[in-house]
Structure formats: C-alpha cells, structure tokens
Amino acid sequence: MAALFNSLFGGSKPSASPIPVGDSDFADFAGAPDPEPVALTSTASQPSFTGLASFPTGRAVPYTKWYNIHERYSLSDFKQEGVILSLIVVIVIIHLFGTNTNRKKAKKWVAAHAPVLQKEFALVGFGGRKAPTADQVESEGLAKSLANDTLELPVDLLKEKSPQEFTTYATGRQNVAFLDVNLNLLKRYSPLSMIAEYGMSLFFESMPAPVEQMEAILYPFDGREALTVPGQAPGAHELRKDTKSSYDGFVWAIVNKETMKQLRDDRYDVSITTTKDNPKLPVWATVMSESAEITDFLLTPELIKAVEEAGELLNHLIITDQPIDQPVKLEETIPKKRIYLSIRVPSSGDYTKTLPLFEYFIRLTDTLVHGAHFRPEVLRKVRTTREDMVRKLKKADEDEQAEERGLEREKAKKLKRDLELKALDAKGQKKYLEKEKEKEMRKNNKKMTSKG
C-alpha cells in the first residue's frame, strides 16, 4: 500500500538499487554524469588556418612543423641527391668538353685538307655544289675561315657521324670514281671508355690501343666510266684511248712495322703478299708486295720523300684488287680495285708533314693508269695466287653441292621406303624389315672384311 500511495501522490523517489559487489563492469559508470551538448559562443574568435583540418571554431589549433617544409628538412637530408646531381653535372661537363675538343680537331683537319681536296675534285663534301677553284679558295679565305676557333662544323665539307667519327666525300676527278675519308678521334667525351680500351689493349693483342687516325679509301674508275659518268653510257660514243683508266690488278703496300702483324692478321689481301725491307725506305717502314718489279715501279722518289716527311704517323698505304676478308664464295673473288691510306692524326695539329703524302695518295691513280701495265711473266705470278683461291673455292663449292645431292638422294630413298612399307600389311612389313636388316648386316660384314 505504501508503494502504491507513493506512486500515485508523488512520494519520495526510491533510492538507487545497490550494485552487486562482485560486478565490477558497471562500477566505472555508476557515478558518470549525463552528457550535455557544448554551447557555442555567440561571437567566434579569429579563425586559424595553420593546417588543412583547421576551421573557425574559436578554439586554438596546436602548432606543428608538418606544414613548414623548411623546418622539417635541412640540407643534410639531401646528401644523396646532391651527390647524384653533382655526378650528372660532371658527366655533362666532360661530355661537352670532349665533343667540343673533337670538333675543334676535326675543324683543323678540314682547314688543312680542304684546299687540296677542292683543288683535285670537282665536288667535295655533302652540299651538292661544285667545289670552288684554288684561286677562289685563296681569295675567299675559305681555309682561313675554317681555321678559326668556332665550334660549328662546315657541314657541307664534313659530317659528324658520332662524337669521335667524322667523314667527308669527294668525286669528280679523272681516273677516280670517288673518295671516302673517315676521321676517327679519341672518345674524350667518355674517359671511362678510353681507360677500358687502353686496359684491354694491354692484355689482348687483338685489341689495339685507341689512336686518332685518318682513313681514306680511293675507288679508281678502272675503265668503267661508262657505268657512272653521264654521257659515257655504252653506245653513246666511243671512249678515247687517253681517257681509259684501267691498270693491272695486284696487291702492294708500304706498312709501318708496328702495325704490320695486326694488318696481316686482319686483312686477307695483304696476307697473300711477301714482306721485304727496302733500303730506300726508313727503318720503321717495310714493303709488302707480290712482285719485286711492282715494287721498283711504285717506289718512286716522290713517294719515298712523302713517306719520310710523314714519319711514323703513317700506318699504311695499300693498293689492292682483292677483298679485305677471305672470300668464301666465287663471286667474292671478282677483283675490285681500291687504294687505302691510314695516317695518325698529329697531336700538335700540324698537318704540314702528312699533307704531301695525302696529295700523292690522291694522284696515285694517274701513276697507275699510265704505268701499271706489267710484263706477262710478272702478271703470271700474280694470277697464280688468285687462281689457287678460285680452285679452292670451286672445289669447296663442288663438295658442298655433292653433299647436298647425297642428302637429296637419301631423302628420296627414305621416302620411297616409307611408301613401300605403308603399302604392305603387317606380315609383309615384318618380312620387309627382316630382309632390310639382313642386307645391312651383309654390308657391314663386307666392310669389316675389306678393312681386315
């Protein structure tokens, strides 16, 4: 009754029920106050935008270094990046210095040789224009302008194939179809490559040390103007006798003894010659020839003087009609006449010593056309070597063809056997194979008896 009375007429509230002593999970929340919403102030304080999560709540945002990169990092944190950037800068500087140095050397070479080329040939370089005469070269100061220190290459006269290789071309001369010149310089833009090449040359004889050299290849007409010169086509008109540019084929060379062994190993045409010192030449040079009479004809006083002036800068001067690589097919034995000149680039840049030999090299075709017509006895010895090579290649070709024919016969025989077996039944196939086995055994016994 008391409880009902209190509930109806608002009696005193019952006290909280006691918490069991053993239930500790509810003890932490027993005296916790009820949550109340936080009232916003009527006037917001000055907003702070020191971070991405800031908003004008009126409450202060704690200070942090996260948003100030200059306070989070220092220069000591970028040591690796600094080393990498420094190496890149050094590599770029070395590359630019090396390429510019090579271009200057190539420009000096052009300045020294352009007048000679333009005097001897109607077209020099890749510009497609007729070369000026020697008087025009002197009056316009072409050689002088090429000798300045500007880095721009005369693209009409010289083409840069790579940072260490430059090339030029000339044509339009009597007895000469065209001339190719390659200027190979050191890899100054890559010192590590140079060191590696020098190191390899110390341990391997087949890898010579890198040197700066000019290599020129002259292709004579050899009486074939009708195939290249306009207006000289067969049937157009008869070639005059004085315009014929053919001469006898042979192999002859003046070689620096330092490169003689490597040259003989690398080139087939030189390997068929005989090496013999000549008292007219300096001690560092030797002659490689197929005949003493050819040497007597070619070793003129002008050539001897040019070789002496060039000194040991000369690598080789080769007149040949044979391929560089040993022929492996009959069509590779067809004579193709060329003249090679290899000269080291002087470190001082003074080309006065090598220019006489370069000029003689260009005019050498005139000497060959007028006088390189030898006695039959001399040519018989020269032809013997070539005929021996042709016979070897013919024999090898015949052996190869015989082997191919044998393989074809074996293939046809096997095909016939398979067809015969396929046409028989099981009993017939067994009898066929037994007969074949007996035949093979008789054949082997006969071979053993003949050997015994």
Quick: pLDDT tens for 195-206.
998 888 888 877
Query: Which amino acid, one-letter code, is at 142?
Result: L
**Average pLDDT of the chain?**
79
How sure is the predictor about 212, in pLDDT bands with cuts at 50, 70 and 90? very high
pLDDT for residue 302: 95
- Report the DSSP beta bridge partners of residue 367: none
383 vs 36, residue with greater confidence: 383
In angstroms, rounded to a whole number, what is the distance separating the alpha carbons of residues 306 and 253? 14
pLDDT for residue 17: 52
pLDDT for residue 355: 94
Q: What is the rounded end-to-end Cα distance, in angstroms, of the chain?
A: 141
Residue 361 neighbours by CB under 8 Å, 6+ apart: 216, 218, 317, 339, 341
Task: Please indicate, yes or no, whether the overall pTM of this predicted structure exceeds 0.75.
Answer: no
Query: Which amino acid, one-letter code, is at 80?
Result: Q
pLDDT higher than 60, residue 383: yes
362 vs 43, residue with greater confidence: 362
Residue pLDDT, tens place only, 90-108: 999 999 999 999 999 999 9
pLDDT higher than 60, residue 134: no
pLDDT for residue 357: 95
In angstroms, rounded to a whole number, what is the distance separating the alpha carbons of residues 314 and 377? 32
- Nearest CA to 282 out of 250, 252, 313, 247 is that of 313
* Helix 79-120, helix 355-371: angle, nearest 10: 40
How sure is the predictor about 306, in pLDDT bands with cuts at 50, 70 and 90? very high
Helix (H, G, I), strand (E, B), or coil: what is residue 77? helix
* Residue 213 · residue 205 · CB < 8 Å: no
Question: Which token pair is 263?
Answer: 């040259």
pLDDT for residue 151: 45
pLDDT for residue 356: 94
- Report the DSSP beta bridge partners of residue 338: 320
pLDDT for residue 5: 46
Helix (H, G, I), strand (E, B), or coil: what is residue 80? helix
In angstroms, rounded to a whole number, what is the distance separating the alpha carbons of residues 363 and 357? 10
pLDDT above 70: percentage of residues in the chain: 74
CA atoms within 13 A on the CB side of 41: 8
Dmax (CA) for the chain in angstroms is 158
Any idea which of 117-126, 142-151, 227-236 has the lowest mean pLDDT? 142-151
In angstroms, rounded to a whole number, what is the distance separating the alpha carbons of residues 124 and 128? 8
How sure is the predictor about 8, in pLDDT bands with cuts at 50, 70 and 90? very low
pLDDT for residue 235: 44
Sign of the torsion angle spanned by Cα atoms 301, 303, 306, 307: negative
pLDDT for residue 228: 65
- Nearest CA to 2 out of 150, 12, 72 is that of 12
Long-range contacts of the stretch 352-357 (C-beta < 8 A, 24+): 353/309, 353/310, 353/311, 353/313, 354/309, 354/310, 354/313, 354/314, 355/112, 355/113, 355/116, 356/305, 356/306, 356/309, 356/310, 357/306, 357/307, 357/309, 357/310, 357/314, 357/317
In angstroms, rounded to a whole number, what is the distance separating the alpha carbons of residues 434 and 181? 72
Any idea which of 64-68, 136-140, 224-228 has the lowest mean pLDDT? 136-140
pLDDT for residue 62: 66
pLDDT for residue 236: 39
pLDDT for residue 405: 85
Helix (H, G, I), strand (E, B), or coil: what is residue 23? coil
pLDDT higher than 90, residue 220: yes
Residue pLDDT, tens place only, 24-52: 554 555 555 665 655 544 444 454 444 44
* Helix 301-310, helix 355-371: angle, nearest 10: 160
Residue pLDDT, tens place only, 312-350: 999 999 999 999 988 888 888 888 999 999 999 998 888
CA 220 to mean position of chain CA atoms: 27
Question: Which token pair is 282?
Answer: 């300096």
pLDDT higher than 70, residue 129: no
- Nearest CA to 209 out of 220, 219, 222, 195 is that of 195
pLDDT higher than 90, residue 138: no
- Report the DSSP beta bridge partners of residue 180: 169, 217
Residue 290 neighbours by CB under 8 Å, 6+ apart: 250, 251, 252, 272, 273, 274, 381, 382, 385
pLDDT above 90: percentage of residues in the chain: 36
Residue pLDDT, tens place only, 242-297: 447 789 999 999 999 998 988 988 899 998 999 999 999 999 999 999 999 999 99
How sure is the predictor about 446, in pLDDT bands with cuts at 50, 70 and 90? confident
pLDDT higher than 80, residue 397: no
pLDDT for residue 413: 84
